[in-house]
Amino acid sequence: MRYETKSAVIARKKTGEDTYNCLINLFDINDPHMSKEAPKECLEFENIDHADVMGLKLKYCLLGNDIVLNDLKVLEVTEDKENKTLQLSGEQDS
């Protein structure tokens, strides 16, 4: 799926003893974790083991264990259900 967005926050949600869903929240501002603005769209992918971020600059927020992608033009998300993975790529302003 292709999303036009300014930033994204990648997080996890525990759904069982050893299972997690991957949450990707899309925003119209950079550094959304520093504001109280609600996401414009919330994506949830069930039973994901890991997400690969390819070719994008990111921030890892130690306090919440979230990953922030800023300065986006486009975010592309591909789910591989068989391997329980997500591939994230896209375009960023430099």
Q: Map out the domains of the chain as residue ranges.
A: 2-92
Taking only the tens place, the pLDDT of each residue in 63-94 is 778 999 999 999 999 999 999 999 999 999 97
Q: Are 45 and 57 in contact (CB under 8 A)?
A: no
User: What's the pLDDT at 11?
Assistant: 95
Selection from 20, 24, 16 nearest residue 75 by Cα: 24
User: What's the pLDDT at 7?
Assistant: 97
Query: pLDDT-based confidence at 21, cuts 50/70/90?
Result: very high
d(CA 56, CA 78): 15
Give, rounded to a whole angstrom, the gap between the first and last alpha carbons of the chain.
23
User: What's the pLDDT at 82?
Assistant: 96
Burial of 8 from C-beta contacts in 10 A (0-12 / 13-18 / 19+): buried
User: What's the pLDDT at 64?
Assistant: 78
